[in-house]
Amino acid sequence: MQLRNKDILGIKDLDRDEIELILDTAESLKWVSNRDIKKVPTLRGKTIINLFFEASTRTRTSFEIAGKRMSADVINISASSSSAVKGETLIDTAKNLQAMSPDIIVVRHGSSGAPQIISGAVKASVINAGDGCHEHPSQSLLDLLTIRQVKGQIEGLRIAIIGDIKHSRVARSNIYALTKMGAQVVVAGFPTLLPPEIEKMGASIRKTLDEAIIDADVIMMLRIQKERMTGPYFPTEREYSMLFGLNAKRLKSAKSDVTIMHPGPVNRGVEISPEVADGPYSVILEQVANGVAIRMALLYLLSGRKHEESRKEARDENNN
Amino acid sequence: MQLRNKDILGIKDLDRDEIELILDTAESLKWVSNRDIKKVPTLRGKTIINLFFEASTRTRTSFEIAGKRMSADVINISASSSSAVKGETLIDTAKNLQAMSPDIIVVRHGSSGAPQIISGAVKASVINAGDGCHEHPSQSLLDLLTIRQVKGQIEGLRIAIIGDIKHSRVARSNIYALTKMGAQVVVAGFPTLLPPEIEKMGASIRKTLDEAIIDADVIMMLRIQKERMTGPYFPTEREYSMLFGLNAKRLKSAKSDVTIMHPGPVNRGVEISPEVADGPYSVILEQVANGVAIRMALLYLLSGRKHEESRKEARDENNN
Amino acid sequence: MQLRNKDILGIKDLDRDEIELILDTAESLKWVSNRDIKKVPTLRGKTIINLFFEASTRTRTSFEIAGKRMSADVINISASSSSAVKGETLIDTAKNLQAMSPDIIVVRHGSSGAPQIISGAVKASVINAGDGCHEHPSQSLLDLLTIRQVKGQIEGLRIAIIGDIKHSRVARSNIYALTKMGAQVVVAGFPTLLPPEIEKMGASIRKTLDEAIIDADVIMMLRIQKERMTGPYFPTEREYSMLFGLNAKRLKSAKSDVTIMHPGPVNRGVEISPEVADGPYSVILEQVANGVAIRMALLYLLSGRKHEESRKEARDENNN
């Protein structure tokens, strides 16, 4: 089985079979990062461009490591050094990069829809690595992989997403993904940070953090994204934390086998307390590790490779 | 046949045989970028340093992809993170890099002559990737390759170069290159942007855009380089565009098989209108694709490889 | 023989046997950079992260080249594009990187002790590439290698370190290293730039440059690090230079076979005059060349490879 589209622009475009294909492939390829020699020749001779209009150490590094562990050539372009400052349009930038024959372009951009615009202008596959307040599909897929590893399955689970839903592309991608996989999603957050369309996406709204987490199998805390806020959405960080920050005391009302997730970087003491972030329920670092595996799977599948071969390729001694 | 010098500092230093050698080698190596596995082991174990004192996504990316597709190790250094800010001289920077045994140093610098200064201080080959208002030889070579592919030959053609000649290292390199190859060059532009020495270089001046393009086989539009202008050279962009911008209406007075070129990034609506930039006469994106091939050829030839082997190496299945 | 610790945080933690192991390994591996094909497959499949919170062309490039020449995957992260700006703690940054399974993290940071904090948070090996005014072990090791190559041995030599001792992590690492190797260290500099604890570290203080260099086998000039100074430590550069700058006239009072070193980047005409920096006694560029070899040795040994194999691996034709 292969992916239907040439791009990964959002979870909205993927069906459940495709999501499971990506998760299964990631599980095969994850093995590569656990070995002494973390390299397979799978994508040798492929050119991957990381085109980042917004800075992001974590996501860029994750894609770069994923590409290099499969022997691809990875080229990093950051917006500050880009033609953008010389007045070139986004489509011109995309067409110019296409003329250099890349196989995959990974795009992060502050404006929703930018990866789609680029996709329309190029023959290469485009992966959306986060666009404005729209989608961040690889983050959502790594969240699914983490949930599946911890809970065994995703179907039937109840997931609470807490915090700044409005500015969170992670929340948006996860609501699409989790409902497609048969989970129930509830959200809670400051009223100013809960856009009305959220219920149309399949999530139900609860008024308080306590009501949202009481029957949750998984709690996803969102990062307060000050860098994306254009005005005051809540009085103070302290007040935000008192109402929607997760700490050990509050966690007592949750299920005894609850799993705590956070897409990072964590604002310690604001949306989540250090003892919860570092505590026994937290899988925050497993999420990061799964991020490399998911990105390897996306690069692998978009290069036309078949999942059926991934397990063999990852383990084949002769590949080294 | 091999190149005579260790460096590519400018077209001025190349003779016609060498230019043809580079174009022929680029045509052989271009094949690599059109394959599924875009990689040959030709420059394995060579160290290429991209030393960019000016930001340039396009040129840096083109050299980086060219190097990596031939399996070289490519190291990017940008001025903002360089020792320049700590007060080191250009020659000290060069000698320090040389001590790390690079094979080729690709230099872009805002001051004319900087690559030559570096060349004198190092044993490595130096490629000028644009220095001040002086030369940009790899851009000119990719222009020649594009013209040769479209027109079959360069000799005898009439080429019009339009716009900001004064600040354009591309114009300077192309006037040298095209006259060496037996083409006739005419230039036109705002009087303040036409330096008097241009006629000594072998180009003839025409007063208006219409006079320059009427009998041209190729029209090269130059980018208005606001970032290099130290004062007002023309009243407004609108006025510039009215006098020296190329649009569909004006193009009617050109030959029916005219070819339109632009070194990019394009200021759409200023020096060239979108319908011309994207129209049937435009080869702007072919120029970019040929850029990778030309840079592969330069890296290849400066590493002491022979053109005669390039076609075989590029096609050899066993190379993968 | 192997290194005792998983990290290289400072010379203070290394014993003499380990220092000699590193120098011997560097001498074996140096051979790689002198060949036509500067690459061995030794660290294939290893992931090295250059995590630089302070810009440093020279050191970052040296580690990057060292890693790539041994076929490791090298990932560069600079602080300006890092999660630090999003408010993540240093430990969170470290743990997140660890989750991506790097083998070695090379850290430069403006605060003393930062690499140690990172080391405690990760399973990967950490190399301190300079932390605040604390240590810069790889610089010191390359200095030792250079002295050993020029003088045959280090034991019994007299080394004068001149200049801004207070802000120099290079001075601190070298005082530890040279005394461990059996050399005698004397220091001189503006009184405001000589911290009182320097004598406890094993160095003796001389009042003037002339007194310090008169019987020195090696003179190490330090860089005036304006970027680290928080107040005025001396009246003017001119006055500094008159008292503690090394020039040809002053050098006449030194030994006839004296060796002049400087960690770079050089402030020409301040701490050292051009004719001395470029003169016959200077080994400044040998230091840079040895820097790549030392970093190769550190990456090699921290990857669990044995020194005994390094000479064979570096020379083995079949490795290519």
Pairwise CA distance, residues A101 & B290, whole Å: 11
**What pLDDT score does A33 carry?**
96
Selected for mutation to probe chain A from B58, B81, B139, B288 (highest A CB count within 10 Å) is B58
Q: Which of A53-57, A266-270, B79-83, C69-73 is predicted least confidently? A: B79-83
Among A86, A87, A99, whose Cβ lies nearest the Cβ of B288? A99
- In 3D space, the residue among C187, C266, C183, C175 whose CA is nearest the CA of residue C219 turns out to be C187
Q: Is A250 a catalytic residue?
A: no
Chains contacting B (3 or more CB pairs within 8 Å): A, C
Describe the crossing of helices A284-302 and A16-29 by its angle, rounded to 10 degrees.
110
| Residues C66/C43, Cβ–Cβ less than 8 Å | no
Q: Is B303 on the interface with C (CB under 8 A)?
A: no
Counting one residue from chain A and one from chain B, the pairs whose CB atoms sit within 8 A come to 82
Question: pLDDT (tens digit, 9 = 90+) per residue, C252-294?
Answer: 999 999 999 999 999 999 999 999 999 999 999 999 999 999 9
Q: How confident is the model at residue A144 (pLDDT cuts 50, 70, 90)?
A: very high
Bridge partners of A75, per DSSP, are: A49
pLDDT under 50: residue ranges of chain C: 81, 317-318, 320
Q: Which of B216-225, B289-298, B310-319 is predicted least confidently? A: B310-319
- Cβ-Cβ contacts under 8 Å for C125 (sequence gap 6 or more): C6, C7, C8, C103, C104, C105, C302, C303
**Is 90 exceeded by the pLDDT of residue B58?**
yes
Question: Is C55 close to B85, i.e. CB distance below 8 A?
Answer: yes
Q: Is A5 on the interface with C (CB under 8 A)?
A: no
Q: Name which residue leads in pLDDT, A14 or A316.
A: A14
**Does B265 sit behind a cis peptide bond, omega within 30 degrees of 0 on the bond before it?**
yes
Q: Is A33 on the interface with C (CB under 8 A)?
A: yes
Counting one residue from chain B and one from chain C, the pairs whose CB atoms sit within 8 A come to 81
Question: Is C37 close to B44, i.e. CB distance below 8 A?
Answer: yes
Q: Name which residue leads in pLDDT, C315 or A244.
A: A244
Catalytic residue (one of C136, C148, C223, C262): C136
Q: How confident is the model at residue A228 (pLDDT cuts 50, 70, 90)?
A: low
**What pLDDT score does C236 carry?**
85
Distance from CA of C49 to the nearest CA of A (A): 9
Pairwise CA distance, residues A224 & A218, whole Å: 19
- In 3D space, the residue among B284, B243, B242, B241 whose CA is nearest the CA of residue B260 turns out to be B284
What does the DSSP assignment read for chain A?
---SSS-B--GGG--HHHHHHHHHHHHHHGGGGGSSS----TTTT-EEEEEESS--HHHHHHHHHHHHHTT-EEEEEEGGGSGGGGT--HHHHHHHHHTT--SEEEEEESSTTHHHHHHHH-SSEEEEEEETTTB-HHHHHHHHHHHHHHHS--TT-EEEEES--TT-HHHHHHHHHHHHTT-EEEEE--GGGS-GGGTTTTEEE-SSHHHHHTT-SEEEEPP--GGG-SS-SSS-HHHHHHHH-B-HHHHTTS-TT-EEE--SS--BTTTB-HHHHTSTTB-HHHHHHHHHHHHHHHHHHHTT--HHHHHHHHH-GGG-
Question: Is A61 close to C47, i.e. CB distance below 8 A?
Answer: no
Distance from CA of B227 to the nearest CA of C (A): 24
**Does A280 sit behind a cis peptide bond, omega within 30 degrees of 0 on the bond before it?**
no
Q: How confident is the model at residue B308 (pLDDT cuts 50, 70, 90)?
A: confident
Q: Is A158 a catalytic residue?
A: no
Question: pLDDT (tens digit, 9 = 90+) per residue, B182-239?
Answer: 999 999 998 888 998 899 999 999 999 999 999 999 999 999 877 666 677 888 888 8
**What pLDDT score does B233 carry?**
81
Pairwise CA distance, residues A231 & A218, whole Å: 30
**What pLDDT score does C87 carry?**
63
Question: pLDDT (tens digit, 9 = 90+) per residue, A272-290?
Answer: 999 999 999 999 999 999 9
Pairwise CA distance, residues B53 & A104, whole Å: 28
Instruction: Provide, as residue numbers in chain A, all residues whose Cβ is less than 8 Å from the Cβ of C73.
Output: 38-39, 65, 68-69
Question: Is B101 close to C34, i.e. CB distance below 8 A?
Answer: yes
**What pLDDT score does C237 carry?**
86
In B61-200, DSSP assigns E strands to 73-78, 104-109, 125-131, 158-162, 184-188
- In 3D space, the residue among A278, A274, A319, A313 whose CA is nearest the CA of residue A29 turns out to be A313
Instruction: Provide, as residue numbers in chain C, all residues whose Cβ is less than 8 Å from the Cβ of A268.
Output: 89, 92
Among B33, B65, B264, whose Cβ lies nearest the Cβ of A96? B264
Distance from CA of B124 to the nearest CA of C (A): 12
Among A44, A46, A88, whose Cβ lies nearest the Cβ of B266? A88
Question: pLDDT (tens digit, 9 = 90+) per residue, A155-204?
Answer: 999 999 999 999 899 999 999 999 999 999 999 998 888 998 899 999 99
**What pLDDT score does B86 carry?**
60
**What pLDDT score does A311 carry?**
83
Among C44, C81, C92, whose Cβ lies nearest the Cβ of A55? C81
Mean model confidence pLDDT for chain B: 93
| Residues A32/A38, Cβ–Cβ less than 8 Å | yes
Q: Is C169 on the interface with B (CB under 8 A)?
A: no
Strands of the sheet containing B73-78, edge to edge, are: B73-78, B47-52, B104-109, B125-131
CA A83 to chain CA centroid, nearest Å: 27
Q: Which residue of A has its CA nearest to B55?
A: A81
Q: Which residue of C has its CA nearest to B44?
A: C37
Mean model confidence pLDDT for chain A: 93
Catalytic residue (one of B58, B123, B207, B268): B58
Long-range contacts of A213-216 (CB under 8 A, 24+ apart): A213/A160, A213/A162, A213/A246, A213/A250, A213/A251, A213/A253, A213/A254, A213/A258, A214/A253, A214/A254, A215/A158, A215/A255, A216/A158, A216/A159, A216/A160, A216/A186, A216/A254, A216/A255, A216/A258
pLDDT-above-70 percentage for chain A: 94
Distance from CA of A113 to the nearest CA of B (A): 22
Q: Is A83 on the interface with B (CB under 8 A)?
A: yes
Distance from CA of B25 to the nearest CA of C (A): 22
Among B45, B82, B101, whose Cβ lies nearest the Cβ of C57? B82
Cα distances from C307 to residues C18, C145, C271, C304, in angstroms, run 11, 16, 38, 10
Question: pLDDT (tens digit, 9 = 90+) per residue, A70-124?
Answer: 999 999 999 764 555 566 789 999 999 999 999 999 999 999 999 999 999 999 9
Q: Is A136 a catalytic residue?
A: yes
Q: Is C75 on the interface with A (CB under 8 A)?
A: yes
| Residues B103/B96, Cβ–Cβ less than 8 Å | no
Cα distances from A106 to residues A282, A283, B6, in angstroms, run 29, 26, 37
Q: Which of B13-27, B44-58, B223-237, C184-198 is predicted least confidently? A: B223-237
Among C47, C92, C97, whose Cβ lies nearest the Cβ of A266? C92
Catalytic residue (one of A60, A108, A169, A172): A108
Q: Is A303 on the interface with B (CB under 8 A)?
A: no
**What pLDDT score does A80 carry?**
64
Question: pLDDT (tens digit, 9 = 90+) per residue, C12-57?
Answer: 999 999 999 999 999 999 999 999 999 999 999 999 999 999 988 8
Q: Is the pTM of the predicted complex or chain greater than 0.90?
A: yes
Question: Is C77 close to A61, i.e. CB distance below 8 A?
Answer: yes
Query: Which residue has 């170069």 as its token pair?
Result: B161
Instruction: Provide, as residue numbers in chain A, all residues whose Cβ is less than 8 Å from the Cβ of C52.
Output: none
- In 3D space, the residue among A222, A297, A306 whose CA is nearest the CA of residue A262 turns out to be A222
Q: Which of residues 43-72 of B touch C (CB under 8 A)?
A: 44-47, 49
Buried-state track C207-218, b at ≥16 Cβ within 10 A, e below 16: eebeebbeebbb
**Is 70 exceeded by the pLDDT of residue A318?**
no
Question: Is B75 close to C65, i.e. CB distance below 8 A?
Answer: yes
Q: Is C108 a catalytic residue?
A: yes
Rounded average pLDDT over B27-45: 96
Distance from CA of C70 to the nearest CA of B (A): 10
Among B45, B77, B82, whose Cβ lies nearest the Cβ of C39? B45
Question: Is B61 close to A82, i.e. CB distance below 8 A?
Answer: no
End-to-end CA distance of chain A: 26
Question: Is C86 close to A37, i.e. CB distance below 8 A?
Answer: no
Question: Is A73 close to B78, i.e. CB distance below 8 A?
Answer: no
Question: Is A57 close to C77, i.e. CB distance below 8 A?
Answer: yes
End-to-end CA distance of chain C: 26
Distance from CA of A317 to the nearest CA of C (A): 13
**What pLDDT score does C111 carry?**
92
Rounded average pLDDT over B275-293: 98
Catalytic residue (one of A25, A47, A59, A93): A59
Q: Is B201 on the interface with C (CB under 8 A)?
A: no
**Is 90 exceeded by the pLDDT of residue B309?**
no
Q: Which residue of C has its CA nearest to B80?
A: C55
Distance from CA of B3 to the nearest CA of C (A): 19
Cα distances from A243 to residues A209, A222, A259, in angstroms, run 7, 14, 20
**What pLDDT score does A314 carry?**
82
Q: Which residue of A has its CA nearest to B227?
A: A86
Instruction: Provide, as residue numbers in chain A, all residues whose Cβ is less than 8 Å from the Cβ of C46.
Output: 37-38
Chains contacting A (3 or more CB pairs within 8 Å): B, C
Pairwise CA distance, residues B93 & B83, whole Å: 7
Selected for mutation to probe chain A from B57, B229, B237 (highest A CB count within 10 Å) is B57
Q: Is A59 a catalytic residue?
A: yes
Helix, strand, coil abundance in chain C, percent, nearest 5: 45, 15, 40
